[in-house]
Amino acid sequence: MTKLRPTITLLTDFGTRDVFVGVMKGVIAAIAPHANVVDLCHEVEPFQVEQARFLLKQSWPFFPKGTIHVCVVDPGVGSSRRALCVEAAGHRFIGPDNGLFTDLFSLSGAKAREITSARYMLGAISKTFHGRDVFAPAAAHLAAGVAPARLGRIVKDAVRAEAGGVVRIGRRFFQGQVAHIDRFGNVITNLDAAEFLPLAAKGIQARLGFEAISRRAANFAEAPEGELVLITGSAGTLEISMKEASAAKRLGVGIGAPVELEVW
């Protein structure tokens, strides 16, 4: 049976106009040339840790066990924040200790290590590019067969953000936020459709800015032209969408905008 090549995914806010992503790939290739590197996404909005957390949560389960996920959305780079290697569900996750890995810690057996061994970093550590000097080399060494325990000691106090970011603000009212806006302009929220749709026996309404959206559609094609609709997206959360148009532009909202949901 042919042994599978180790896979490393990259999730960053670096974009593609600069050399940052390419340099990280170069570091990985020098250490683990046999690794299969997957560009998960490099268009996370700058500094938006919660958006990266959402995208990571929706993505990693679709990769095989043994995959190494490098996540670099790191406004605290160069500060005292720690670098982590998290082991969870047969996967390994490399990135900053800033709440990005919060959802992993609810998984059975999940554990975090602080990456401290200089042996698995580049020789000179920049204060502004740990993606190149710390995270990429650590992931590459794992892909080359180094055990996670070699990277550093286990820590019990890794940063945890709010578990879901959704709060109840009334008997029938909840507040979440815009977690992501895709390239089609769909406004993807962090409101779990499986949790809230069963509560909507008679109706449901989402409010963003000055708009209230109560019409539901099963898919994009079903939506009436020019009308905002609520759909259950592929991430399993509620989305505000328009047929062949940008709901985000219509609403004028961005990542992190509050979304008020009423069910009755």
Quick one: CA dihedral 11, 15, 17, 23, positive or negative? negative
Contact 110, 151 (CB under 8 A): no
Check if 7-155 and 167-263 are the same fold. Answer: no
Mean pLDDT, residues 7-34: 98
Q: How many angstroms separate the most distant Cα atoms in the chain? A: 62
Per-domain residue ranges of the chain: 7-155, 167-263
CA dist 160 and 189 (Å) reads: 20
Both structure tokens of 149: 């325990």
What pLDDT digit, counting tens, does each position of 158-211 carry? 999 976 678 999 999 999 999 999 999 999 999 999 999 999 989 999 999 889
Secondary structure E strands in the chain: 7-12, 36-41, 68-72, 83-88, 91-96, 111-114, 154-155, 167-168, 173-181, 187-192, 204-208, 211-213, 229-232, 237-241, 258-263
- Residue 224, classified by CB atoms within 10 Å of its CB into exposed (0-12), middle (13-18) or buried (19+), is exposed
What was the pLDDT predicted at 1? Answer: 47
Average per-residue pLDDT for the chain: 95
Q: How far apart are the first and last CA of the chain?
A: 55
Q: How far is CA 75 from each of CA 4, 78, 99, 158, rounded to the nearest angstrom?
A: 35, 9, 12, 17
What single-letter amino acid sits at 180?
A: H
Q: For residue 3, name the pLDDT band (cuts at 50, 70, 90).
A: low
Quick one: CA dihedral 16, 18, 20, 25, positive or negative? positive
What pLDDT digit, counting tens, does each position of 98-152 carry? 999 999 999 999 999 999 999 999 988 999 999 999 999 999 999 999 999 999 9
What pLDDT digit, counting tens, does each position of 26-47 carry? 999 999 999 999 999 999 999 9
Tell me the CATH number for domain 167-263: 2.40.30.90
Both structure tokens of 39: 């560009």
Percent of the chain having pLDDT more than 90? 93
Contact 55, 100 (CB under 8 A): no
Q: For residue 66, name the pLDDT band (cuts at 50, 70, 90).
A: very high
Q: What is the DSSP string of 85-120?
A: EEEETTEEEEEESSSTTGGGGGSTT-EEEE---GGG
Cα–chain-centroid distance for residue 236? 14
Q: For residue 4, name the pLDDT band (cuts at 50, 70, 90).
A: confident
Contact 151, 143 (CB under 8 A): no
The architecture of the domain spanning 7-155 is: 3-Layer(aba) Sandwich (3.40)
Percent of the chain having pLDDT more than 70? 98
Q: How far is CA 86 from each of CA 13, 101, 106, 151, 216, rounded to the nearest angstrom?
A: 20, 8, 12, 11, 39
Report the run of H or E that residue 249 belongs to, with start and end: helix 247-251
